[in-house]
Every structure is written in structure tokens, then in C-alpha cells.
Chain A
Amino acid sequence: MPDPIIITRKLRREFIRDQFHVIALEDVDLEVQPAEFVALMGPSGSGKSTLLHLIAAMDRPTSGEIKALGTDLRALSDRQIARWRNQHIGFVFQSFNLIPVLTALENVELPLRLTKLSRKDRLEHARTALELVGLGDRVHHLPRQLSGGQEQRVAIARAIVTDPDIILADEPTGNLDAGSALEVLTLLSRLNKEFSKTVVLVTHDPHAAQFASHTRHLEKGQLLPNSVAV
């Protein structure tokens, strides 16, 4: 077996807000293999998003270890983390989170602005990514001129345009109708199968989980053992 692409050991994240003390994640040991498609399930508030944020280095753990692509994320500075995330992570949110004043193409191009690519190359990459998600004919549309499903596909195009190793999707179908949801899940599955991207998909929906090669469950901040049946 190759080395896991994501490893966490005794990962813990606590939030202290005013007098409330929330343990969002407790002793999470997770391993994800390269090119795996993992569905992360669990009730609301079980810590799924928190775990995804930690893997994306968007948040820092309270304690425990976390390694992705062999990098100890705790050791990186804020700048290094920003750069690392730009290169290696594609993140998809539940609410599509496009920049409203930018067209589909400009939204997708955005992460490439942090690279050394020329403008021409950036636009070409962005166009390719949009074609891949089936929106080659919508490049100059603003987010408000697109349907929810199309917006989410633009967000996926933006997540993959830098050719990241890991795609993290936090309930990407949560705001979509069944048809659009299916398109999005099919797309993630294709990215996993055809482009060997490692995908971690957070979802409530057992149907969605069927697209994954593995499913893991979180409950009250704890990762249930692998053996638990779906």
C-alpha cells in the first residue's frame, strides 16, 4: 500500500467562545490513501466541516498531528500554508461562494493569479476547467446569471484549475436539486476516477455516499471505526 495522502493522529480541535467550550473533534485518527474517494458522514454538528478545514489547513488543530502530502501542516507559517493550499487543495463549499462581481471565467482564473502563469495560460487553463465541468458556453456569465447547479460546477472548476492533489467538498450538493446534485457527484467521481484526484466528500446524503469508495462516520467529534457498516 502506498503512503496515505492524509494522515491525522489524535487530532483534536476545541472551540472556546465566551463561556462555551466545544470539543469539535476528539482524537481523530484518519488515513486517506491517494486517489481514494472518501465520504465523510455524520449528523450536523459532529465535526465534519471542522475536520475538512483542518485537512485544508484553513484552521489549525488544538492538538494532535496532521500530515497531508507528507507535509506536517502544523510546521508551516501562514504564508506557506496559503501557498500550499493554493497548490495542493481544491475546496468546494456548500454555498457555492463565487465572487459575485467576477464572471465564471474570472472566478475560475482567480487561484491561478497566485501562480507564475501568464495571463494567456491562466485564461486557457480556466477555460479548460470550465469545459471539463460542462460550462464551456457560460464562461462570461456572472454568478447571478447561472443556476445553482451551474454555480457549483463553476466552484468545482475553480477548485480543480490549479490541478490540486486533494479535492475537499463540504456538502457540495446540500443546496442543489436532485438533478444538479447528481451532476456534481458524477463530476467529483470522474475527477477521482479519470484524474486520480483524492476526494473527501462531506455529506448527509446516503445516496451521495454511494459515489465514494469508502465512507467514514463522525459522531460528536469522534471518528467511528472503519468497520462500521454503511
Chain B
Amino acid sequence: MIRHWPLVLKNGLRNKRRTTLTVCSIAVSLCVLGVFLAIYHSFYFTDATPEQAFRLVTRNKVSLAQVMPTSYRQKIEQVSGVREVMVMQWYGGEYKDPKNMFARMAIEPARFFAMFPEIKLAEEQKLAFQRERSACLLGRELAEKFNLKVGDRVTLKGDIFPGTLEFTVRGVYDNTRRPADEMFFNIQYLYESLPQRRRDFAGTFAVLADSPDSVPRVAREIDALFRNSPVQTKTETEREFELSFISFLGNVKAFLLSVCGAVTFTILLVSANTMAMSVRERVKEVGILKTLGFTRGAIMGIILGEAALIALLGGILGWCLALLLTQGLRYAPVMIGEIKMLTLRPSVTVVLLAASLIIGIASALIPAWGASRTTIVDAMRHSG
């Protein structure tokens, strides 16, 4: 087949429009496949970051929308291997426009930086944030997106919670592990905006363990603590917690896989049709090649080579498109960190290119086999 490379190449370029269209349709499909594979990969094959490996999340067993009493903290702190416990509360709200989506989290500033060492900001900004009740921290991406600087005012209109909260930006942080696109503020400030009887709640507890090894045991022991309480808990690793967030969206795994399967199958049909067409047009040439002494194997090789070449070209182009798309998603208004951090890992690249090769070869297999088996006499009688 390598010997016949020039013929393969020239055959591929014979009908430039058809080849271009085929390459493009394969590229678009493989781009979709690539993005979905990247999503799948980041959801299900990405390990916890080193910092995450130390952390757990405790939440209400019934649902995330249900809260727990803040008094649980004291009990959780008693579990051996627990180094730090912090209350976190998702604050929905709205910044200027409901379309401005980003995570707004109420946290405890005194415990926050020990809990999340991957969050970096200048020491004086840390202190300013901890000192001032109405201070808030913005991730750098977020600050840049809304053109906010230290000292600027930020107003959030509540939706889950009543009222409006006024903040002053006291720090802009970087995150060494994920996009810095969240807003953090002091949960006391939130409590104070609420009636006395509604203050004592925690959406989740972030729990820091003394070592990654004690994490599973800590999780079990925390949940055991509250097994007989009216409000039971569910404690998971932070990574698991993130994934459960994804599963909020439904059966994501099956969805992703079925999209990938459907895309692959469709493009297989499309390119099979194209290859069948282009081989049919060339039956006579196959007869000529055979007359000159080309064997069945060589004929198969030439046709399969052409299909593989076209598909691989589509695959490479699709990979480039997917790369652009995943980079673009960084700036998309979604709150799933995984989507923002999508990258085409080498394994996804390999799978993508292998898929394009397989699609190419599989789509041409039947026409190539048929052509290679046509006798010269039949091929030459073929009017075409």
C-alpha cells in the first residue's frame, strides 16, 4: 500500500469537492466526538487534585437543597483525622443581569485559606477580606470579565435568600488548579441579613482531613455520627461531590456515550456512502490495474488507503476544531468547572485519531472488498 501511495493520494484528490465535503463532515463529527470524549474524560477519568485529596464534603443526606444545623461542625471536628471544618453555603442571587452566571459562595474567611491552599492571593488582601464583614473575593477571570478591581462595589440581589447584599471587592485571587471564576464572601454577612431564627444553617461542610488515607474513614465516621439524628448527612470526597453535581444533570454517562456512539455511527454511514460511490465510479480503473498485474490485496490497499487518508484528514481537522471549541468553553457561562477546564488530553487525541482511521477503513471495507473481487472481464464491461 505504501508503494501505491501516490495513486492513493491522487485518487483522493480526484473529486476535490467530494473529498472536501467528506473531510469536513468527518471533521465536524469528530469535533463533536472529541468534545464529548473530553467531557467524558474530565468527568470520569480525572483524578482529584492533590489538595482535593485531603477534602471531603458533608451535606444533607436528603438533598443539597436541604440544609444542616451549623452545630454539626463541633461534632464533625471531634472525628479523629479531621483538621478543619468550614461552613459553606451556595448563594444563588443575581449580579446585574440573570445571565451573569457564576458561583457565589458564602464561606468562613478565618478557615477558608487553610481549607483551599490552591487559592492564592496577596497577604494584605487576605487580611482585608478577613477583617471586613462585607468584603468579597473574586476570581481573577471573573474580575476581568466584569472589569472589577479591588475597592469596587458588587451588589447581589437574592433569589434563594431574601434581600440584597452589598459587597466591596477586597481581593482578587488565582487558583492553581481550576478557573478562578467564583465569588466568595463571609457567611456571617449573609446570616446578618436574615431574621434571627433563620440563621443557623449550613448548606455543606467542607472537611479537611489530616491525610488522604484517612478520608474514607472520616467520611464513614461523620455519617455515623448523625445516623440517628433527624437530619442525616452524606459525606463524600470533594471529587465525588463534584461528580454528583454532574449527575444532577441526569444520566450524563449514558448520555455522553450515546451521543458519541450516534455521532460515530452517522459518520460511518456518511463516509461508507461516499466511498461506495467513489469506488463504483472506478470499477473500470480497478479492471485496468488488475490487467497490469495489481493483486486483489493491492486493490484493497489502495481503496482502503484512500478512505483512511480522507478520514484521518477529517480526524485531524476535527481535532483542531475540538481544540478551539474546548478552549472557547473556558469563557462559556457555565458553572461546571470540568467544562471550563476541558483539554484534549493525549488519550482523547489518540482515541479520536484512531476512531477516524477505523471509520475510514470500516466505511470502505465493503466497497473495497467488492472491487477487489470483481473479475477483470466484469470490470471492463462496466460502462463508466
Residues of A that sit less than 8 Å from B by CB = 53, 56, 58-59, 78-79, 82-83, 85-87, 91, 93, 97-102, 106, 110-111, 113-114, 158
* Cα separation A151 to B4 with both chains bound (whole Å): 23
Please indicate the chain B residues that have their CB under 8 angstroms from the CB of A113 in the complex.
3-4
* Cα separation A91 to B294 with both chains bound (whole Å): 14
Please indicate the chain B residues that have their CB under 8 angstroms from the CB of A86 in the complex.
292-293
Please indicate the chain B residues that have their CB under 8 angstroms from the CB of A101 in the complex.
10-11, 13-14
- Chain A min CB distance to B376 (Å): 4
Residues of B that sit less than 8 Å from A by CB = 3-4, 6-7, 10-11, 13-14, 284-285, 287-298, 375-377, 380
CB contact under 8 A between A53 and B377, given known A99-B285, A99-B288, A101-B10:
yes
CB contact under 8 A between A114 and B377, given known A101-B14, A106-B6:
no
The answer to whether A79 and B292 touch across the interface, beta carbons within 8 angstroms, is no
Among B7, B11, B295, B380, point to the contact of A82 (Cβ < 8 A): B295
CB contact under 8 A between A102 and B293, given known A59-B375, A93-B380, A97-B288:
no
* Cα separation A83 to B375 with both chains bound (whole Å): 16
The answer to whether B3 and A102 touch across the interface, beta carbons within 8 angstroms, is no
- Chain A min CB distance to B6 (Å): 7
The SS class assigned to the A binding surface is: helix
* Cα separation A87 to B288 with both chains bound (whole Å): 15
- Chain B min CB distance to A74 (Å): 15
The answer to whether B292 and A158 touch across the interface, beta carbons within 8 angstroms, is yes
Among B10, B284, B296, B380, point to the contact of A102 (Cβ < 8 A): B10
Please indicate the chain A residues that have their CB under 8 angstroms from the CB of B380 in the complex.
93, 97
Please indicate the chain B residues that have their CB under 8 angstroms from the CB of A99 in the complex.
7, 285, 288-289
The answer to whether B7 and A102 touch across the interface, beta carbons within 8 angstroms, is yes
Most buried by A among B10, B14, B291, B375: B291
The answer to whether A58 and B4 touch across the interface, beta carbons within 8 angstroms, is no
The answer to whether A58 and B292 touch across the interface, beta carbons within 8 angstroms, is no
CB contact under 8 A between A111 and B293, given known A97-B284, A99-B288, A106-B6:
yes
* Cα separation A143 to B293 with both chains bound (whole Å): 21
- Chain A min CB distance to B116 (Å): 62
